[in-house]
Amino acid sequence: MKRALIIIDIQNDFCPGGPMAVKEGDLTVNVANRYAREFRRKGEYVLALQDWHPANHGSFASVSGEPVYTLGELNGLAQIWWPDHGVQGSVGADLHPDLDRSLIDALFYKGQDIDVDSYSAFFDNGHRRKTELDSWLRERDVTDLVVLGIATDYCVKYTVLDALELGYNVEVVVEGCRGVNLNPDDSTIALSQMAAQGAVMI
Ligand code: VGL
Ligand code: ZN
């Protein structure tokens, strides 16, 4: 059994002060650092994801012309129109400055395709294209994942559901996750859905 910690999207844009601020998003940083130190101490892997969009990404309300946080459709898939966020190379797309990068073994990027959104760290929302993450983990015989980060109800949720489908054992660090909560219960519901599919809440 080999384990990896998967740190999801702890980026400036999703933290207080950012255009897509998630309430208490910055409180995930210390939890991530604590887990990352523990994983490194045991010789286990620490990986981080970054939402990494082109400046004219199709998920942006500024591109669709629709109001932010409303629901529409992008290339046949349901799409929430987000504020501009995670633009490749911008300060907003950087990892939170207090997240200890020296503990991170590898970075993975998602959301580069202009015409499809990508919540999961493994696949785009249409399950058409795969990131490098699964092959990276398989090459190293990683079977168990511990996941935390932002946002509980989007990128964490879809990463965890895909990981379970791909056959990984998955634990979710609840205190290390924060959600968007367009509806107040979205994160609670997301955690229940992950648990129902076999994720263990720690
Ligand atoms: C995220 C919506 C759009 C996330 C990223 O990191 O959860 N959510 N892009
Ligand atoms: Zn995004």
With cut-offs at 50, 70 and 90, classify the pLDDT of residue 143.
very high
Alpha carbon nearest to ligand 1 atom 2, residue: 154
pLDDT at 133: 98
Q: For the chain, what percent of residues have pLDDT higher than 90?
A: 100
Q: How far is the CA of 41 from the centre of ligand 2 (A)?
A: 32
Q: How far is the CA of 44 from the centre of ligand 2 (A)?
A: 28
Q: N- to C-terminal Cα distance for the chain?
A: 18
**Ligand 1 atom with the shortest distance to the CA of 8:** 6
Which member of 13, 26, 110, 124 is catalytic? 110
Catalogue all structural domains in the chain, each as residue range(s) with its CATH number.
3-53+83-201 (3.40.50.850)
Cα–Cα distance measured from residue 47 to residue 189, given in angstroms and rounded to the nearest whole number: 26
Nearest to 109 by CA among 81, 75, 86: 86
Q: How far is the CA of 184 from the centre of ligand 1 (A)?
A: 17
With cut-offs at 50, 70 and 90, classify the pLDDT of residue 174.
very high
Active site residue 155: yes
127-144: average pLDDT: 97
Active site residue 110: yes
Q: Say what the pTM is.
A: 0.98
**Ligand 1 atom with the shortest distance to the CA of 11:** 6
* pLDDT tens-place string over residues 60-87: 999 999 999 999 999 999 999 999 999 9
- Looking at the CA of 158, name the nearest ligand: 1
125-153: average pLDDT: 98
pLDDT at 171: 99
Q: How far is the CA of 84 from the centre of ligand 2 (A)?
A: 8
Residues framing ligand 1 (Cβ under 6 A) = 9, 14, 51, 82, 119, 150-151, 154-155
* pLDDT tens-place string over residues 5-40: 999 999 999 999 999 999 999 999 999 999 999 999
For residues 155-174, b (16+ Cβ closer than 10 Å) or e, as one string? bbbbbbbbbbebebebbbbe
Give, for ligand 1, the residue of 119, 187, 194 to mutate: max count of ligand atoms closer than 8 Å to Cβ: 119
CB 34 within 8 A of CB 104: no
- List 196's β-bridge partners, or say none: none
pLDDT at 98: 98
- Looking at the CA of 186, name the nearest ligand: 1
